[in-house]
Amino acid sequence: MSSVTAAPAALGRTAIVPYAVTIFLSAFLLFLVQPIIAKQILPWFGGSAAVWTTCLVFFQSTLLAGYAYADITHRLGIKRQTYLHIALLLLSLITLPILANEVWKPQGDEEPIGRILLLLAVTIGLPYFLLSTTTPLLQAWFVGRFHAAVPYRLFALSNFASLLALLGFPVLFEPTFDLRQLGWGWSALYTLFVVLCAATGLASVRMATAGGDADEAARARSTAPPPTLGAQLMWLALSAMGSVMLLAITNHVTQNIASVPFMWVVPLSLYLITFILCFDHPRWYVRPLFLVLLLVLTPVMAWKIPSLDLAMGVAIYFGGLFVACMFCHGELARLKPDPKYLTRFYLMMSVGGALGAVLVAIVAPQTLEGYFELNITLVLLALLLVLRAGGLWKLLALVALVPTAYYAYNGAKDYAAGMRTMERDFYGVVRTRDRTVEGVTYRAMYHGGIIHGGQLQGEQFKNIPSDYFGPGSGYGRVFAAMNELRPQPRKVGIIGLGAGVVAAYGRAGDEIVFYEISPKVVDIERKEFSFLRDTPAKVHPVVMGDGRLSLEREAPRQYDLLGIDAFSGDSIPMHLVTREAMELYLKHIKPDGVIVFQATNRYIDLLPVIKRHANDLGLHAVVVSDYPPSSIGADYWLSSTDQILVTRDKALLEHPRIKEAASEIKDRPELPTFTDAHHNLFRILK
């Protein structure tokens, strides 16, 4: 039997309520804190999608520690275990509220993974650890108090609470409260949890004492054999595969959409839904149905890896994630042991979850030069399906393995095909590739699947601006207007180095400062491109670290032009487009200076966000859209782009080079001002 309804007739529903409420609240807090703390620290590390996967390593590893604690202390007996736990709960209150201290902001050249993990440990470590222990610990107390009751449905309840927290964050909590309010509100609920958990523990101790160690007697009467090593390894493998699928698909999607909690929440919610269904009741996991779906979707996902059609890709990958996790967690539910061994079961599941997170977030970036983890994951998923299937299903799984491996391999091969260089760090994969048309060679830099600048090859072409920075772009038109209106030397700052194309507009006497967070981008720019060497302007050493944080540390720079172009793949680091960011940029430009925002994006509409900031601060904002001919031939190295120009100087925007291409940005009065503490991606999705 697999639900709380297996309790003896004497067990009243009211006796179960404290356990259910405490588990529900703990799981709710456990998953609500994840987007809260991640959103607090995301701007400190460049808004990279890797911040979230690193956070997941901490969350999964701490969950493992919590389950290990429950398994180990279970052997102490309920009285000593409960008193120890209450002491730790009280101790954890001194760490509140959960607000990340700005002392942890990086200065520019720190190793980000270790710093993020240490920051999380100091900020939310003990409360998160204790919340992680609650589900296995209270289920063990539950079994000890109501000996015939099998509590696996409480695991489904905990995942339901987790799902409510995750879905509630982007829909309710994020739009309604700022980050400081969320931190204090969470801390108040955590205090309530401490009281409930301590009270439930003390009640369990009293019952155990009154029963004269009936807990031990009940366990002694159990004749269920201990799980074999093979069974425990299968628990680990199934759990790890679900975790790896979660992170690999999250990475694949967020690299080219946006590194914001909304995009993290969707796959994590699907992951939790499968736990809820599989551990609520066996009827939800219709094994033949999900085996068929997995046999179809696994090769399809491998086939679509190279595609940038994310509208279709999101549907395929999120659907595939759901089916894969239903398989993994459905098989786990089929293999669950007697409640006597439930803490070991949860421990092995958490080992698998932590292992999967570490493999994707830490091992893959250190060992794979490109985004190959999804390719590898899908092949391993097909192999696991072969292991778990039997009879005809095994044969069908073997058949599905062949196209999965074929497409995964070809996808990886195509990803690397023709690349001159390919290097990876915490912030992503940087590649360069040459393309020759009508005798003219163009070298492009790719970050993720998006070009981030490039350069024509050959002495006569070496200083010609290209891609999003051509003569018809916002940058090209602003520099042309400035050449006429302000012939004196100018100072230029650019957040986001890319291939360094903006340096092509430099003149003798000009000064240019680039800000760049990724060491690999700097290395490849130096090896593969020559804009910074060829420009007549003086180019200062690249300022390493997040551009906004670097500007916060600097005295006013008095830039004539400040460009904001630090985007990862096609995603938007939202901390670069908030009200506070705009105020910082104004501090660093001259009174008649101009800020240029790169607004080219397939999914996010930045125009009304910047327009609102401009209106609030008494600035003028227009958008310059440049759509070069798409036919192969002359100027094929130019890309379509939208760039927003923001300035106090109306005369600059009236210059013919700008006025002929500029368009007014439509106001959206219902759109709230985006601030560091309060912004929501839902409102600006295209």
Provide CB contacts within 8 A for 499, sequence distance 6+: 444, 445, 452, 453, 454, 455, 467, 525, 528, 529, 531
What dihedral angle (degrees, nearest 10) is formed by the CA atoms of 354, 359, 363, 367?
A: 170
DSSP one-letter code for 638: B
Residue whose token pair is 């998923």 = 381
Mean pLDDT, residues 14-26? 86
Structure tokens at 196: 């409930």
Q: What is the pLDDT of residues 234-246, one digit of tens each?
A: 999 999 999 999 9
Q: What is the pLDDT of residues 650-685, one digit of tens each?
A: 999 999 999 999 999 998 888 888 888 777 666 776
Global pTM value: 0.80
State the CB neighbour count (10 A cutoff) for residue 383: 17
Q: What is the pLDDT of residues 602-654, one digit of tens each?
A: 777 889 999 999 999 999 999 999 887 754 445 667 888 899 999 999 999 99
Structure tokens at 77: 């007996």
Distance CA(642)–CA(150), nearest Å, equals: 60
Instruction: Assign 3-state DSSP to the chain and report helix, strand, coil percentages, each to 5.
Output: 60, 10, 25
Distance CA(468)–CA(601), nearest Å, equals: 12
Distance CA(652)–CA(489), nearest Å, equals: 17
Distance CA(187)–CA(198), nearest Å, equals: 17
Report yes or no: 325 and 271 within 8 Å, Cβ to Cβ. Answer: yes
Question: What is the per-residue pLDDT for 55?
Answer: 87
DSSP one-letter code for 45: G
Question: What is the per-residue pLDDT for 610?
Answer: 94
Distance CA(138)–CA(346), nearest Å, equals: 12
For 461, the 3-state DSSP assignment is coil
State the CB neighbour count (10 A cutoff) for residue 116: 24
DSSP β-ladder status, 491-495 and 559-564: parallel
| Residue 224 banded pLDDT, cuts 50, 70, 90 | confident
Distance CA(408)–CA(413), nearest Å, equals: 9
| Residue 525 banded pLDDT, cuts 50, 70, 90 | very high
Mean pLDDT, residues 374-383? 95
DSSP one-letter code for 425: E
State the CB neighbour count (10 A cutoff) for residue 682: 11
Report yes or no: 490 and 561 within 8 Å, Cβ to Cβ. Answer: yes
Residues in the chain: 686
DSSP β-ladder status, 491-495 and 511-516: parallel
State the CB neighbour count (10 A cutoff) for residue 472: 19
Report yes or no: 616 and 662 within 8 Å, Cβ to Cβ. Answer: no
Report yes or no: 492 and 498 within 8 Å, Cβ to Cβ. Answer: no
Mean pLDDT, residues 246-256? 81
Distance CA(24)–CA(17), nearest Å, equals: 10
Q: Which of 120, 153, 147, 149 is nearest to 135 (CA)?
A: 153
Cβ burial 413-423 (10 Å sphere, 16+ → b, else e): eebeeeeeebb
Distance CA(203)–CA(22), nearest Å, equals: 13
Angle of helix 214-221 versus helix 112-145 axis, rounded to 10: 90
Mean pLDDT, residues 120-135? 92
Distance CA(81)–CA(327), nearest Å, equals: 35
Any idea which of 6-10, 279-283, 392-396 has the lowest mean pLDDT?
6-10
User: CA 38 from chain center: how many Å?
Assistant: 9
